[in-house]
Amino acid sequence: TTNTDYYRPVYHHTPLYGWMNDANGLVYKDGEYHLYFQYNPYGSKWGNMHWGHSVSRDLIHWEHLAPAIARDTLGQIFSGSSVVDKNNSAGYGKDAMIAFYTSASDEHGQIQCMAYSTDNGRTYTKYEKNPILTPFDGLKDFRDPKVFWYEPAQKWYMIVSADKNMRFYSSSDMKNWEYLSQFGEGYGVQPNQFECPDFVQLPVDGNKNNMKWVMIVNINPGCPFGGSATEYFVGDFDGKEFKCDNDKSVTKWLDFGKDHYATVCFSNTGDRTIAVPWMSNWQYANVTPIRQYRGANALPRELSLYTKDGEIYMAANAVKETEGLRKGTTDVNDFTLTDEHLVSPLVTGTEGACELEMDVTPNKAQTVGFQLLNDKGEKVDIYLDLKSGRIVMDRSQSGLTAFGEKSEPHFKETDDHRKVLSVNYVNDFALGTWAPLSLCEGKTYHLDVFVDKCSVEIFVDGGRIAMTNLVFPTQPYNALRFYTQGGEAEVKNLKVHQLGL
């Protein structure tokens, strides 16, 4: 019913029933985008992992199909990738779809397996000699194989997360894999567990004569806002080893929110590189206030490389197909914000599903921002803090924030010195996340903000900054309240798009 499904997103992909985490086996073939995903068909918490399956022709409208790969005697089916076997390397026919996943069990540990499909990804047959790859050193954390075609060597390559490294392998037949090298130890934030690798080659600033390799590394736990997040490393690959351009201490984030994880890209999409995040965080993914299902994907993002102050960064922008979600647009006249607040009932009628676009010029303001709010005063506060050079999304008063693990009952003293029994939630949710504005050029910031039933995603200047956060308002946000501090600021080209499928 609408009641128990209150937070089900309008335009983000969710499983019909059951639990979902990582996107798996993302592949494009014959007009269809395949989204497989970590799936528990038996309940709305993590467990019994299968590969669930949805397909789309436009990355926006998804059709739910039957789970494609079910757990077996080798264990649960953990994350992995799929490719189209264009040269029939594996022998299941030209253009067979080949899936690579981790089987995980106490008995066999984490081992890499393979399955093939000759019916456009609907059903898979597991390779009879699985596993195809086990760790040479008995590593316990060895998973999430990403397979890609490496043109210079005319071979398939696999990258596997191996504790605090990513390991490279290559193969001619997809069944026998040779170890090449590993990368990662000591790079980026620590402590961490590397998970869900991806490895993509992209032009720098659109220049195809200057290509760079990017390793996407999902890490958990230990990220700046707590729990899990996605970082990336830019560098070069010689067919054997990846060399990062930066020193070990440099960390670059693919998203600056708290609910962006296990992000990997579609294979077989030609010149486009499209990533799909899981929109949650392992700190509280199992206890979000949702009942009938759990887990959603953030919007698919197009990845590209840009240069800022001599450094190469990766932009992640909502795919252009999201324009197809617009059901109506309100244009708002440009305005200058003074210290006074401006309240405008702008998002009424969107039932919590809208997109806001605007160009913000802070001028002399030290803080300029807006709140998405509802009649109960619940709000998401989004602002530029020019003093610290940050864009911030604060969800500490966004609605439900107290869920999750409860602390041990204890006595606490009140203001009038009575002792009362208290049970607090260990709250990893009520907080703000921020990104450095130094990633942007110029004095005007273009904000593209996607709001759905339980999420807010911000893309600044075409994805130079992406920030994805869950929110659980007890009624939809229906107003915008702009404010500035320390001077006037300008807001131009404000558009409110109502979104729907």
Q: Is 36 in the site for ligand FRU (CB under 6 A)?
A: no
Q: Are the C-beta atoms of 422 and 412 separated by less than 8 Å? A: yes
Q: Is 102 in the site for ligand FRU (CB under 6 A)?
A: yes
Q: Is 90 in the site for ligand FRU (CB under 6 A)?
A: no
In whole angstroms, the minimum distance from the beta carbon of 91 to ligand FRU comes to 27
> Which one, 23 or 451, has the nearer CB to ligand FRU?
23
Per the document, the length of the chain is 501
> Which one, 105 or 118, has the nearer CB to ligand FRU?
105
Given 14, 54, 56, 79, the residue binding ligand FRU (CB under 6 A): 79
In whole angstroms, the minimum distance from the beta carbon of 296 to ligand FRU comes to 14
Q: Give the alpha-carbon dihedral of 372, 377, 379, 383, to 10 degrees.
A: 70
**Residue with nearest beta carbon to ligand FRU:** 78
Distance CA 99, CA 67 (A): 13
> Which one, 59 or 77, has the nearer CB to ligand FRU?
77
Place of tokens 């160009």: 359
Q: Is 321 in the site for ligand FRU (CB under 6 A)?
A: no
Give residue 34's region: left, alpha or beta (phi > 0; psi -120 to 50).
beta
Q: Is 152 helix (H, G, I), strand (E, B) or coil?
A: helix
Given 113, 160, 196, 467, the residue binding ligand FRU (CB under 6 A): 196
Q: Is 25 helix (H, G, I), strand (E, B) or coil?
A: strand
In whole angstroms, the minimum distance from the beta carbon of 126 to ligand FRU comes to 17
Segment holding 160, helix H or strand E: strand 155-162
Q: Give the alpha-carbon dihedral of 118, 123, 129, 132, to 10 degrees.
A: 90
In whole angstroms, the minimum distance from the beta carbon of 301 to ligand FRU comes to 18
Site size for ligand FRU (CB under 6 A): 12
> Which one, 46 or 403, has the nearer CB to ligand FRU?
46
Q: Is 14 in the site for ligand FRU (CB under 6 A)?
A: no
Given 215, 262, 312, 356, the residue binding ligand FRU (CB under 6 A): 262
Q: Is 433 in the site for ligand FRU (CB under 6 A)?
A: no
In whole angstroms, the minimum distance from the beta carbon of 80 to ligand FRU comes to 8
Q: Is 226 helix (H, G, I), strand (E, B) or coil?
A: coil
For residues 290-319, which are near ligand FRU according to CB under 6 A? none
Q: What x-and-dash track marks residues 222-261 binding ligand FRU by CB under 6 A?
A: ----------------------------------------
Question: Which of 229, 303, 292 lies closest to 468 in space, CA to CA?
Answer: 229
For residue 292, what are its two tokens? 């009938």
Q: Is 22 in the site for ligand FRU (CB under 6 A)?
A: yes
Residue 388 has a CB neighbour count (10 Å cut-off) of 12
Q: Is 279 in the site for ligand FRU (CB under 6 A)?
A: no
Given 144, 259, 302, 394, the residue binding ligand FRU (CB under 6 A): 144
Question: Is 330 exposed, middle or buried, given 0-12, 13-18 or 19+ CB atoms closer than 10 A?
Answer: middle
> Which one, 103 or 322, has the nearer CB to ligand FRU?
103
> Which one, 144 or 198, has the nearer CB to ligand FRU?
144
Q: Which residues, listed in sequence order, are joined to residue 212 by a DSSP beta bridge?
A: 202
Distance from the Cα of residue 267 to its chain's centroid:
17
Given 35, 49, 200, 373, the residue binding ligand FRU (CB under 6 A): 49
Instruction: Note if 22 is an active site residue.
Output: yes
**CA-based R_g, the chain, Å:** 23
Q: Is 285 helix (H, G, I), strand (E, B) or coil?
A: helix
Question: Which of 380, 369, 232, 195 lies closest to 313 in space, CA to CA?
Answer: 232
Q: Is 78 in the site for ligand FRU (CB under 6 A)?
A: yes
Segment holding 194, helix H or strand E: strand 194-204
Looking at 22, 144, 385, 461, which residue is catalytic? Answer: 22
Place of tokens 């264009």: 86
In whole angstroms, the minimum distance from the beta carbon of 108 to ligand FRU comes to 15
Q: Is 143 in the site for ligand FRU (CB under 6 A)?
A: yes
> What is the per-residue burial (b if ≥16 Cβ within 10 Å, else e) of 313-327?
bbbbbbbebbeebee
Q: Which residues, in sequence order, are CB contacts of 128 under 8 Å at separation 6+? A: none
Q: Are the C-beta atoms of 448 and 257 separated by less than 8 Å? A: no
Q: Is 468 in the site for ligand FRU (CB under 6 A)?
A: no
Q: Is 195 in the site for ligand FRU (CB under 6 A)?
A: yes
Given 14, 38, 112, 230, the residue binding ligand FRU (CB under 6 A): 38
Distance CA 481, CA 341 (A): 7
> Which one, 20 or 318, has the nearer CB to ligand FRU?
20
Question: Which of 218, 494, 204, 190 lies closest to 335 in space, CA to CA?
Answer: 494
> Which one, 189 or 250, has the nearer CB to ligand FRU?
189
In whole angstroms, the minimum distance from the beta carbon of 150 to ligand FRU comes to 23
For residues 470-499, which are near ligand FRU according to CB under 6 A? none
Q: Is 21 in the site for ligand FRU (CB under 6 A)?
A: yes
Enumerate binding residues for ligand FRU (CB under 6 A): 21-22, 38, 49, 78-79, 102, 143-144, 195-196, 262
Active site residues: 22
